[in-house]
Amino acid sequence: MQVEERSVGSYTVVTVVDARIDAQGADDFRAEITRVAQGGNRRILLDLSEVTFIDSTGLGAIIASLKQLGPDGDLVICGARNSVGSLFRLTRMDKVFRIFATSDEALAALAAG
């Protein structure tokens, strides 16, 4: 699982570069989030703009990552394409995560508190 990360304000923006988060990549994904969190920042903006498909294991990994970040942490989603966004709605994960259309929009909203 290839990810890129950068810090913007109080969040670390983690961009998933792979096109898929599925059963094959779910463990890697969680490991990447753990690594970022262990780096000190438990507030993550997950940019999914490069992702075209997430299966239910991938979605489960995102949920598990949120739990792993704990009550002080945060996991915010941005950039989800239609196909990915529809899966968030299907599972009702859109009601758990804050979801923004783009990273800029997300960062502006997060900065505004």
Partner 1 sequence: MLSDDVRFHLTYSIGKEPADASPADLCRALSLAVRQRLTDVRLATERRYSERDAKRVYYLSMEFLIGRSLDNNLLNLGLRDEAEKLLSARGSSLDSVLPQERDAALGNGGLGRLAACFLDSLATLGMPGYGYGIHYEFGLFKQEIVNGEQRERPDHWFAHDSPWIVEHLDEACLVPVYGHVEHQLDRAGNYNPMWLGWKVLIGVPHDLPVVGWEGKTVNVLRLYSARASDEFDMQIFNDGDYFKAVEQKAASETVSKVLYPSDSLAAGRELRLVQEYFLVACAVRDIVRRYTKAHASFDAFPSKVAIQLNDTHPALTVAELMRLLVDEESLDWDRAWEITRAALGYTNHTLLPEALEKWSVPLFEKVLPRHLQIIYEINRRFLEEVSIRFPGDVARLRDMSIVEEGETKQIRMAYLSIVGSHSVNGVAALHSELVKSTLVPRFHEMWPERFHNKTNGVTPRRWLLGANPGLAALVTEAIGPGWVSDLDRLRGLDALAGDAAFQEKFAAVKRENKVRLAALIRSLTRAKVDPDSLFDVQIKRIHEYKRQLLLVLHVIHDYFRLVQDGDVSGPPRTYVFAGKAAPGYAVARRIIRLINSVGEVIRKDPRVKGRIEVVFLPDYRVSLAEAIVPAADLSEQISTAGKEASGTGNMKLSMNGALTIGTLDGANVEIREEVGPENFFLFGLTAPEVERMRRERSWDPWGVYQTDAGVRRVMDSLAGDVFCPWHPGHFLPIFRRILGEGDEYFHLADFGSYEEAHRRVGETFLDRPAWRAMAIRNVARTGKFSSDRTIREYAEEVWGVAPVL
56 or 102: CB nearest partner 1: 56
5 or 91: CB nearest partner 1: 91
**Structure-block tokens of residue 109:** 């909203």
Q: How far is the CB of 87 from partner 1 (least distance, A)?
A: 8
Burial class of 22 by CB neighbour count within 10 A (0 to 12, 13 to 18, 19+): middle
- Contacts of 19 by beta carbon, 8 Å cutoff, 6+ apart: 50, 51, 52, 53
22 or 28: CB nearest partner 1: 22
53 or 105: CB nearest partner 1: 53
Q: Which residues bind partner 1 (CB under 8 A)?
A: 20, 22-24, 53, 55-57, 59-60, 63, 83, 86-87, 89-98
Helix (H, G, I), strand (E, B) or coil at 30: helix
Q: How far is the CB of 105 from partner 1 (least distance, A)?
A: 17
Query: Residue 10 has what DSSP assignment?
Result: T
Q: How far is the CB of 36 from partner 1 (least distance, A)?
A: 22
CB 14 within 8 A of CB 45: yes
Q: How far is the CB of 102 from partner 1 (least distance, A)?
A: 20
